Amino acid sequence: MEVRDIFGKVFAGERIGRDEGLFLLKNADTTQMGSLADYVRRKHHPEGIVTFVADTNPNYTNVCDTECLFCAFWRPAGAHDSYTHSVDKVIEMMRTSYHNGATTVLLQGGHNPEITLDYYIEIIKRTKKEIPGLHLHAFSAPEISAIAKYSDLTTEEVLRRFWDAGLRTIPGGGAEVLSNRVRKKISPLKIDADQWMKVTREAHLTGFKTTATMMFGHFEEDEDILEHLDKIRALQDETGNFLAFIPWTFKPKNTFLERKLPNETGGDRYLRVLALSRIYLDNFVHIQGSWFTQGAKIGSLSMYYGASDLGGTLFDENVLCCAENKIRSTVDELVHMIRSAGFVPAQRDTYYQVLNRF
């Protein structure tokens, strides 16, 4: 196998296989991967638009019984700095963000056995009724599984109840790397890769649109990255309900893994994986670049490695801010970042529809 043969396949519009993806990740130059990813991005987005969303990311609780080793956010029940917000408080936070210009709220939280199903249903219904201009994008697959477990329901039933209450999109969080070998090391109490895929498939079949994520840069091998990409590509073939793929890198600060893995994944590895994602996921319209974990410079470069979206403005990003990730950006800064890189900035909604070009 040669890198140029794989390039030839992509230029001919053919899908590459898992072995070929692995070969690229192991052997291609980073710049070679970038140019191929850029070719694929241009096929999907010939007009050169790069989008972002004005969003907010509050958390309703930091109490969690899943204790992921990579997570700096969770607290045990009863800890002095644990919290669970009332529905009123969550609505108030969302209303403030809406008045500050957010169009989407990405709402997630820990797995707190004390919270009942009614709490989630009330949040969904009240957001729709009281802040109709704000789109609620909430409750990842592991949260759905935890809610089902605590409520003695199936995940399908929880999804149906959420759909009937008015929820329409679900974030693709909690995927980390969809390889059970890796998950055992970083999140042994969390749902495994098969469960994540099952809940996401159920969500798609219920009618939800979701994103897919991947958090890498810990114990995964290249083979695990390909396993992850292959799983979500196959599900996208089946349902078509993934809106975007969002890879980002592990931030070790203040986590249980910090002593074993003190160094953050660098820009080169991030850009290689991003580029591979763009090349491999031929059935995804959008690949998202991660300016908030990699910083503005790599965020700018990400647009030349396959990213056609830069995610959100992320006010109230508690999970990452606890890992001392203090990077914040405003709409103006994102517009500047995109324009300076030579692309056309555009604000989008949760469905990746363009609202406003700059």
Apex 192 CA angle, 190 and 194, nearest 5:
150
Strands 209-216 and 169-170: parallel
Please pick, from the candidates 56, 57, 66, 255, the single residue that binds ligand SF4 as defined by CB under 6 A. Answer: 66
The interface region with ligand SF4, picked from 20-28, 62-70, 194-202, 337-345 by CB under 6 A, is 62-70
Query: Applying CB under 6 A, does 120 fall inside the site for ligand SF4?
Result: no
Task: Please identify, among the stretches 31-39, 66-74, 292-300, 306-314, the one whose residues bind ligand SF4 according to the rule CB under 6 A.
Answer: 66-74
DSSP 311-350: EE--BT-HHHHTTT------HHHHHHHHHHTT-EEEEE-T
Query: Among 6, 36, 71, 243, which residue interacts with ligand SF4 (rule: CB under 6 A)?
Result: 71
Q: Kindly tell me the burial class for residue 303, based on how many C-beta atoms sit within 10 Å of its own C-beta (0-12, 13-18, 19 or more).
A: buried
Nearer to ligand SF4, 68 or 182 (CB): 68
| Closest to 239 measured CA to CA, from 267, 206, 194, 263 | 206
Does 216 bind ligand SF4 (CB under 6 A)? Our answer is: no
Q: Which is nearer to ligand SF4, 142 or 312 (CB)?
A: 142
The single residue among 7, 23, 52, 74 that binds ligand SF4, judged by CB under 6 A, is 74
From residue 168 to residue 187, the character string flagging contacts with ligand SF4 as x (rule: CB under 6 A) and all else as - is -------------------x
Binding region for ligand SF4 (CB under 6 A) out of 23-31, 60-68, 128-136, 341-349: 60-68
Q: Binding segment for ligand SF4 among 69-77, 87-95, 290-298, 330-338 (CB under 6 A)?
A: 69-77
- How far is the CA of 83 from the CAs of 80, 107, 127, 250, 358, in angstroms? 9, 15, 21, 24, 39
Nearest residue to 24 via CA among 41, 8, 44: 8
Query: Binding residues for ligand SF4, how many (CB under 6 A)?
Result: 12
Q: Give the span between the Cα atoms of 100 and 58, in whole angstroms.
A: 14
What is the distance in angstroms between the CA of the first residue and the CA of the last residue of the chain? 44
Contacts to ligand SF4 by CB under 6 A: 64, 66-68, 71, 73-74, 110-111, 142, 187, 190
